Amino acid sequence: MTVWDDLRGQPAVVAQLRQAAQGEGLTHAWLFTGPPGSGRSNAAKAFAAALNCDQEDVSRRGCGACPACRTILGETHSDVTFVRTEKVTITIDEARELVSTAGNRPSSGRWRIIVVEDADRMAERTTNVLLKAIEEPTPRTVWMLCAPSPADVLVTIRSRCRPVALRLPPAADVAALLVERDGVDPAVAERAARAAQSHVGIARRLARDPEARERRLETVRFPLTLRGVTAAVLMAEKLVKIATEEANSSNDERDAAEKVALLATLGAPESGTLPPAMRGQVKQLEDDQKRRAKRSITDSLDRTLTDLLSFYRDVLIVQMGNAVELVNVDLRNELEEFASRSAPDITLARMDAVNKARKRITTTNVAPLLAIESMAASLI
């Protein structure tokens, strides 16, 4: 098993990165782009592992089995820094710290590698802090930036990076990955991959969590019962509740695992009162988790609205003659009946209303419930 095995449906990207890892076309800065779920951060991580792989034979770089590959994939390698934010933006102080880290020579690997998974979450003045370091990097340093699209990164930055463009993999490839890597039943994997619209992380959660599948189905079925303003208000309240429950479900599991890992690292007792020094570190972790929770709820709301959007997408497909496969194939009868009661232009207007709500929630300080209530009224 190599570091490339999880990059399903990305043959061109794997070929490009393999070649660079072998020394052909390697440059000091890379920009990984692709829609959410395409695996851009996983591609960057695999590339980092291949660059610092212990194999002397360049054709075998990225073996996935050597200590360097394992520690990089586990994000514990001393020469590879992973940057992701649970806040709205990456701060200038964090960017300056990255520049300082990038100036250090690698301690054990071939390269000092900085992977910025949320490059689109940097304001212009923050990005400018990185500009000189990327434009004139120190020897043996490689920058890897990840963003949804090239337009999400300043032109001065992207012009100095080699592009790596990922796409959403076919649902069949995502399903095969769930079966092989996670041992998911093939039928469940296929439905989860289709429902997640090939988003690998979401598909994995849907495949492993029956409650998550039920919450998604409830979201997708909302338009079938949407009648009048009262129903729209109730729908908005329920959508916010579903998104919050989904985020909390994911956060609770991760928060508990992080706390267990921290206590183990500190050598804390399994029971009883913690020493003052340990209490301070645990408190810091809990504060970080609370800040992360706010963003995760926003992300969950966006995902919930994406699920809702898939309903109207399928309605439009039916109205246009079923040219491509449906996402919610199990609801075909309901979709066909719903589609018969309106025209494609109305469906497009409803899709615009959902996308407008998504944009307001993710880019402004509007109260989510107000944004979704406004959207729901437009869907009647």
Per-residue pLDDT band for 86 (boundaries 50, 70, 90) equals: low
> Pick the residue with more confidence: 219 or 121?
219
Q: What percent of the chain has pLDDT over 90?
A: 46
pLDDT of 101 strictly over 80: yes
Mean of pLDDT values over 37-45: 91
Distances (CA, A) of 78 to 53, 68, 104, 238: 13, 10, 11, 45
**What does the mean pLDDT of the chain come to?**
87
Mean of pLDDT values over 300-309: 90
Res 93: pLDDT: 85
Say whether both 323 and 362 belong to one domain.
yes
Q: Rounded CA gap, 207 and 150, in Å?
A: 31
Name residues whose C-beta falls within 8 Å of residue 66's C-beta, 6 or more positions apart in sequence: 53, 54, 55
Say whether both 137 and 191 belong to one domain.
no
CB-based burial label for 62 (10 Å; 0-12, 13-18, 19+): buried
> Which of 229-233, 302-306, 347-351 has the highest average model confidence (pLDDT)?
347-351
Tell me if 337 is assigned to some domain: yes
Domain count for the chain, please give it.
3
Res 109: pLDDT: 87
Tell me if 314 is assigned to some domain: yes
Mean of pLDDT values over 372-377: 91
Q: Rounded CA gap, 91 and 83, in Å?
A: 12
> Pick the residue with more confidence: 9 or 252?
9
Say whether both 97 and 40 belong to one domain.
yes
CB 147 within 8 A of CB 31: yes
The angle subtended at Cα 363 by Cα 359 and Cα 365, nearest 5°, is 115
Say whether both 97 and 190 belong to one domain.
no
**Residue 350 CB-half CA count within 13 A:** 24
Say whether both 294 and 194 belong to one domain.
no
pLDDT of 67 strictly over 90: yes
Per-residue pLDDT band for 289 (boundaries 50, 70, 90) equals: low
Gap between the terminal Cα atoms of the chain: 51
Res 269: pLDDT: 64
Q: Rounded CA gap, 156 and 13, in Å?
A: 24
Q: What are the beta bridge partners of residue 116?
A: 83, 145
Res 325: pLDDT: 87
Tell me if 213 is assigned to some domain: no
Say whether both 192 and 288 belong to one domain.
no
Q: What are the beta bridge partners of residue 83?
A: 116
Tell me if 6 is assigned to some domain: no
Distances (CA, A) of 126 to 80, 138, 295: 21, 20, 20
| DSSP state at residue 146 | E
Domain carrying residue 17: 11-165
Say whether both 94 and 181 belong to one domain.
no
Say whether both 194 and 335 belong to one domain.
no
Tell me if 218 is assigned to some domain: no
Tell me if 217 is assigned to some domain: no
Both tokens of 175, joined, read: 């399903």
Tell me if 43 is assigned to some domain: yes
The enclosing H or E element of 115 equals: strand 112-116
CATH number of the domain residue 136 falls in: 3.40.50.300
How are strands ordered across the β-sheet holding 141-147?
80-83, 112-116, 141-147, 29-33, 162-165
Res 61: pLDDT: 92
Q: Rounded CA gap, 178 and 6, in Å?
A: 10
> pLDDT per residue over 239-283, tens digit each?
888 888 877 776 666 777 777 777 777 777 656 677 776 777 777
Q: What are the beta bridge partners of residue 146?
A: 32
Res 292: pLDDT: 66
> pLDDT per residue over 140-171, tens digit each?
999 999 999 998 888 888 899 999 999 988 89
Per-residue pLDDT band for 53 (boundaries 50, 70, 90) equals: very high
Say whether both 23 and 151 belong to one domain.
yes
Say whether both 271 and 347 belong to one domain.
yes
> Which of 91-100, 304-313, 323-332 has the highest average model confidence (pLDDT)?
304-313
Per-residue pLDDT band for 216 (boundaries 50, 70, 90) equals: very high
| DSSP state at residue 61 | -
Tell me if 256 is assigned to some domain: yes
> Which of 122-131, 249-258, 320-329, 339-348 has the highest average model confidence (pLDDT)?
339-348
Mean of pLDDT values over 123-141: 84
Q: Rounded CA gap, 210 and 215, in Å?
A: 9
Say whether both 191 and 254 belong to one domain.
no
> pLDDT per residue over 10-33, tens digit each?
999 999 999 999 988 889 999 999
- In the block, tokens 């300080």 appear at 365
